[in-house]
Amino acid sequence: MNIQNLALAKVMIMLDGVGIYNTAKSDENRKRKRQAKSKSNSIVKRQKLDMGDSLVPDSEEQPTTITPPDTQSQSPLEQTLRHLVPPPMMLHVTIGINEVTKRLETQAQRARSVIRASDNVEADVEAVAPIRVVFVCRDDVNPLILINHLPHLVAAVNSIPGSPEVKLVPLPKGSESTVAGAVGVKRAAVIAFDVST
């Protein structure tokens, strides 16, 4: 239990700043979507009014003005986001069961693939760094079948000669909400780093 708590503390230190950045980014995306939706709604309203104008006599016509959203004034969030730089750890972290699974599968497949002389070698140049450690909030996942494949995937990657060893570390009960809060998402049962801790 002490080792798990120590691992959780180390993860929280590594994730410093990730939650603030992700929260600001998601808030900005939500605001942008809201503005786009209100803009499209005003266009639809305008089209309906234009169609209705042909049916309404000129004496009953009422002018409608649609004001575009004020682009000059920016919210403090927008101003902050422009100056907000992603923390360096953002380049080395993978969050979520599905994303970590994809990365591990790709890592295992890439290491086992055979390169032939006719293959395009440059296509594989953009390979990302291999995952080195996977943290799992095992006691917080229900049903466990969602993460039962992770030990097998880690074992498959570790069985490849010459590949860097991947460590699978369980975190203590209740750590999912702590990790999720640190990265600025609702749930984060699995988190992986491609750097040694």
- Residue 79, classified by CB atoms within 10 Å of its CB into exposed (0-12), middle (13-18) or buried (19+), is exposed
Q: Does residue 65 carry a pLDDT above 60?
A: no
Mean pLDDT, to the nearest integer, of 51-77? 50
> In which band, very low, low, confident or very high, does the pLDDT at 69 lie, cut at 50, 70 and 90?
very low
Query: DSSP strand E in the chain: where?
Result: 93-95, 133-136, 167-170, 190-193
Specify whether domain 2-17+87-114+129-193 bears CATH 3.30.1330.30.
Answer: yes
**CB-facing half-sphere around the CA of 36: CA atoms within 13 A:** 6
> In which band, very low, low, confident or very high, does the pLDDT at 11 lie, cut at 50, 70 and 90?
confident
> In which band, very low, low, confident or very high, does the pLDDT at 66 lie, cut at 50, 70 and 90?
very low
Q: Give the total residue count for the chain.
A: 197
**Does the reported pTM lie above 0.85?**
no
Report CA-CA distances (Å) from 53 to 39, 41, 62, 63, 195: 21, 18, 9, 10, 64
CA dist 164 and 172 (Å) reads 26
Q: Does residue 31 carry a pLDDT above 60?
A: yes
Mean pLDDT, to the nearest integer, of 160-189? 88
Q: Does residue 182 carry a pLDDT above 70?
A: yes
Q: Does residue 166 carry a pLDDT above 50?
A: yes
- The amino acid sitting at 43 is I
Residue boundaries of the structural domains of the chain = 2-17+87-114+129-193, 29-83
- Joined together, the tokens standing for residue 20 give 């603030």
Phi, psi dihedrals of residue 99, rounded to the nearest 5°: -65, -40
Mean pLDDT, to the nearest integer, of 147-165? 90
Got the DSSP string for 59-107? GG------PPP-SSS--HHHHHHHHPPPPGGGGTEEESHHHHHHHHHHH
Q: Does residue 49 carry a pLDDT above 60?
A: yes
**CB-facing half-sphere around the CA of 11: CA atoms within 13 A:** 32
Mean pLDDT, to the nearest integer, of 44-60? 60
Stronger pLDDT, 97 or 123, i.e. the higher one: 97
Mean pLDDT, to the nearest integer, of 61-73? 47
> In which band, very low, low, confident or very high, does the pLDDT at 125 lie, cut at 50, 70 and 90?
very low
Q: Give exposure, 37-65, as e/b (b: 16+ Cβ within 10 Å).
A: eeeeeeeeeeeeeeeeeeeeeeeeeeeee
Average pLDDT, the chain: 76
> In which band, very low, low, confident or very high, does the pLDDT at 78 lie, cut at 50, 70 and 90?
low
